[in-house]
Structure 1
Amino acid sequence: MAPLRGAKRRRKAAAEKKAAMAAAAAAGGAPGAGGGDWWDGFCMRMSGTLSCIEDAQRFESIFKMPRRTFNYICSLVRDEMMVRSSSYTFLDGKVLSLEDRVAVALIRLNSGGSLVTVGSAVGVNHSTVSLITWRFVEAMEERASHHLRWPDSSEMEKIKSMFEKIQGLPNCCGVVDTTHITMCLSSAEPNCKVWLDHEKNYSMVLQAVISPDMRFMDIVTGWPGSMKESSILHSSGLFKMCEKGARLNGSKQALSDGSEIGEYIIGDAGYPLLPWLLTPYQENNLSDAKVEFNKRHAAAIAVAPRTLVKFKDTWKFLHGEMWRPDKHKLPRIIHVCCMLHNIIIGLQGSAMVEADMSNNHDANYKQQVCQLADENAVMVRDKLSEHLVSS
Structure 2
Amino acid sequence: MAARMIVDDEAQNIAIFNFLEEILQDDVIFDVNGRTIPMAISLFFNKREKVPKISDYAENVIPLYSLDDFRQHFRLCRTTFEIVFQSIAPNLTVANNGGHLPIEPSKQFLIFIWYISNRSSMRDVAERFGVSKYTVHFCCKRVMDVLLPLKNKIIQWPHNDRMVGIAASIQQERHLPNVVGIIDGTHIRITNLPGQTDDYINRKSYASVQLQLVVDDHLIINDAFVGWPGSTHDARVLRNSELYSSAAELIPEGMYIIGDSAYPLQPWLLTPYRDTGHLTPPQRNYNKILSSSRQVVERSIGHLKGRFRRLQEISSPSISTVCKLIMCGCILHNFCILTDDDIESYINLDAVDDANNFENIFHNNLDAAVLRDNIVAIIQ
When normalised by structure 2's length, the TM-score is: 0.79
User: Does 2:311 match 1:318?
Assistant: yes
Residues 182 and 204 in structure 1, CA contact (< 8 A), matched pair in contact too: yes
Partner in structure 1 of residue 300 of structure 2: 307
State the distance in 1 between where 2:370 and 2:351 align.
32
Which deviates the most, 65-74 or 140-149?
140-149
- Tell me what 1:295 maps to: 288
Amino acid at match of 2:260: D
Distance 1:361 1:119 in 2: 29
Q: Greater relative contact order (Cα 8 A, min sep 6): structure 1 or 2? A: 2
Q: Does 1:200 align with 2:205?
A: yes
How is 1:4-15 mapped onto 2 (pairs within 5 angstroms)? none
Establish whether residue 81 from structure 1 lines up as the match of residue 92 from structure 2: yes
Separation of aligned partners in 2, 1:295 and 1:176: 17
Counterpart for residue 380 of structure 1? 371
Deviation per CA, 1:162-192, whole angstroms, max 9, x where unpaired?
1111101111011110011111146xx4331
What SS does the aligned partner of 2:88 have? helix
- Cα 1:170/1:354, change in 2 over 3 Å: farther
Partner of 2:22: none
Q: Where does 1:27-176 land on structure 2 (aligned, <5 Å)?
A: 42=58, 44-45=60-61, 55-82=66-93, 85=94, 87-88=96-97, 94-176=101-183
CA gap of 1:150–1:293, structure 2 versus 1, over 3 A, is same
Deviation at 1:320, TM superposition (A): 2.4
Q: CA deviation at 1:147?
A: 0.4
Q: Contact 2:272/2:290 (CA < 8 Å) preserved in 1?
A: yes
2:229 maps to a residue whose letter is P
Gaps of at least 5 residues in structure 2 are 1-55
Q: Separation in 2 of the partners of 1:376 and 1:86? A: 57
Q: What is the CA deviation profile of residues 75-115 of structure 1, one whole-angstrom value per residue up to 9, with x for unaligned ones?
A: 01111112xx25148x9x55433321111111111112222
RMSD over aligned Cα, in angstroms?
Answer: 2.3
How much has 1:353 moved relative to structure 2? 5.3
Compute the displacement of 1:44 (Å). 4.7
Q: In structure 2, the residue corresponding to 1:183 is in which secondary structure?
A: strand
Distance change (3 Å), C-alpha of 1:383 and 1:354: farther
Quick one: which amino acid aligns to residue 264 of structure 1? Answer: Y
The offset of 1:331, in angstroms, is 1.4
User: Which residue number in structure 2 is paired with residue 14 of structure 1?
Assistant: none
Query: Does 2:201 correspond to 1:191?
Result: no
- Please list the CA deviations of residues 137-170 of structure 1 after superposition, one character each: whole Å capped at 9, or x if unmatched: 0111224530011111122111111111110111
Q: Extract unaligned runs of 5+ from structure 1.
A: 1-39, 253-261
Distance between the aligned counterparts of 1:196 and 1:224, measured in 2?
Answer: 8
The answer as to 2:253 corresponding to 1:269 is no
Q: Which amino acid aligns with 2:216?
A: S
Structure 1 distance, partners of 2:348, 2:177, is 26
Indicate the percent of aligned positions where both proteins have the same amino acid.
Answer: 22
Cα distance in 2 for residues equivalent to 1:223 and 1:237: 13
Indicate which of 240, 245, 250 corresponds to 1:247: 250
Cα 1:360–1:106 change in 2 (3 A) is closer
Asked whether the equivalents of residues 267 and 277 of structure 1 are also in contact (C-alpha less than 8 Å), the reply is yes
TM-score in terms of structure 1 length: 0.77
Q: Distance in 2 between matches of 1:319 and 1:355?
A: 13
Displacement of 1:355 in angstroms is: 6.7
Matching residue of 1:18: none
